[in-house]
């Protein structure tokens, strides 16, 4: 029952997902619409809330047991609480019951997003350019003909896509574009076909109850 019911549910709901593609009858489409708009939307919203709950639980646990770097968990929980309060009570556009402005200084949810989250998120990924430069110097070696081909292709694309490439030779950007349009497409398409067939196989296995890892451990 604990495993059978979910497996039967996946099969039935999976068939419900396939049928609207095959039967355009308005009754079928309306039922599909109802299922998606009224059931899936709300169930999915709870899934997201669960993710948040887990995050809070993990960090609360870290603080309670004084695990390594537990002090930083306080920062996480406090900033989460402050942002959530400003967003929930200040409103999406800063028009809620909580005032989000002192003179000309706005601290609504959008200001926090643009001035805290955007700099932090952008900079974390900007670090990758430095790490890439270091890796390029230390690790990218033409150890074999294949690796040499990879590096040569990279050089052509890196120079060809820029205005500098056009100044070296008018044909270079066209050659770089040809690399993207022909050999790159051949490679990506070959990989894509394999991945698509694999995805199909996995989808069918889950639908038919052959693949059961998603049930998790336990009974």
Partner 1 sequence: MNLSFDPWVWIGALLTLAIFSFLYRDNPFYKVAEHIFVGVSNGYAVTFYYHLILVPTLFNPLFRGRFILIIPFIIGALYFTRFIPKISWLVRIPIGILMGYGIGASIPATIQAYIIKQVQGTILTPYNFQRWHAGSTGIVWSIILFLGVICVVSYFYFSREQKGILKVTSRIGIFFVMIGFGAAFGYTVMARVSLLIGRLQFLLGTWLGIIK
Partner 2 sequence: MSFMDRMLKIDRRIIYLILAVVVILPMLFNSPLSVRVMDPVQKLFNAVESIPPDKAMIVNFEYDPRDVPELQPMALSILRHAFTRRIKILVLCLYVQPLGMAQSALTQITEEFNKNAKSNADSILYGRDHVFLGWQPPPLVPILGMGESIANVYKTDYYGNQTDTLPLMKHVKNYRNVGLLISLSSSDVPRYWIEYAQNRFGLKVGAGVTAVSGSEFYSYLQTGQFSGLMVGMKGAAEYEEMIAKELHIKARRKASESMPSLTYAHLVMIAFIIIGNIGYFARRRKK
Which residues in 72-131 contact partner 2 (CB under 8 A)?
A: 92-93, 110, 113-114, 117-122, 124-125, 129-130
- Binding partner of residue 79 among partner 2, partner 1, none, CB cut-off 5 to 8 Å per kind: partner 1
Footprint (CB under 8 A) of partner 2, residues 51-70: none
Q: Is 28 an interacting residue with respect to partner 1 (CB under 8 A)?
A: no
Nearest distance from residue 60's CB to partner 1, in Å? 13
Scanning 42-50, 62-70, 74-82, 206-214 for contacts with partner 2 by CB under 8 A, the matching segment is 42-50
Nearest distance from residue 1's CB to partner 2, in Å? 27
Q: Is 171 an interacting residue with respect to partner 2 (CB under 8 A)?
A: no
Q: Is 82 an interacting residue with respect to partner 1 (CB under 8 A)?
A: yes
- Binding partner of residue 208 among partner 1, partner 2, none, CB cut-off 5 to 8 Å per kind: none
Footprint (CB under 8 A) of partner 1, residues 176-205: 178-197, 199-200, 203-204
Options 8, 23, 75, 132; binder of partner 2; rule CB under 8 A: 132
* DSSP string over the chain: -TTHHHHHHHHHHHHHHHHHHH---HHHHHHHHHIIIIIIHHHHHHHHHHHHHHHHHHHHHHHHTT-TTHHHHHHHHHHHHHHHHHHHHH-TTS-SSS--EETTEE-SHHHHIIIIIHHHHHHHHHHHHHHHHHHHHHT----SHHHHHHHHHHHHHHHHTSHHHHHH-THHHHHHHHHHHTHHHHHHHHHHHHHHHHHHHHHHHHHTTS--GGG-S--
Nearest distance from residue 32's CB to partner 1, in Å? 9
**What backbone phi and psi angles, to 5 degrees, belong to 105?**
-90, 115
């Amino acid at each position: 029952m604990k495993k059978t019911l979910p497996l039967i549910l996946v099969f039935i709901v999976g068939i419900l997902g396939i049928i609207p593609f095959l039967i355009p009858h308005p009754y079928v489409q309306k039922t599909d619409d109802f299922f998606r708009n009224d059931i899936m939307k709300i169930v999915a919203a709870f899934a997201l809330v669960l993710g948040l709950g887990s995050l809070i639980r993990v960090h609360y646990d870290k603080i309670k047991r004084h695990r390594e770097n537990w002090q930083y968990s306080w920062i996480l929980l406090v900033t989460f609480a402050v942002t959530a309060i400003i967003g929930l009570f200040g409103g999406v556009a800063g028009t809620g019951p909580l005032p989000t402005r002192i003179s000309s200084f706005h601290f609504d949810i959008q200001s926090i997003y643009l001035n805290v989250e955007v700099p932090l998120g952008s900079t974390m990924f900007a670090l990758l350019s430095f790490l890439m430069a270091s890796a390029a110097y230390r690790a990218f070696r033409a150890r074999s003909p294949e690796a040499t081909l990879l590096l040569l292709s990279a050089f052509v694309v890196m120079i060809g896509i820029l205005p500098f490439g056009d100044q070296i030779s008018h044909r270079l950007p066209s050659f770089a574009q040809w690399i993207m349009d022909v050999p790159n497409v051949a490679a990506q398409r070959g990989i894509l076909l394999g991945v698509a067939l694999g995805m199909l196989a996995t989808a069918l296995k889950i639908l038919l109850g052959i693949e059961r890892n998603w049930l998790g451990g336990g009974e």
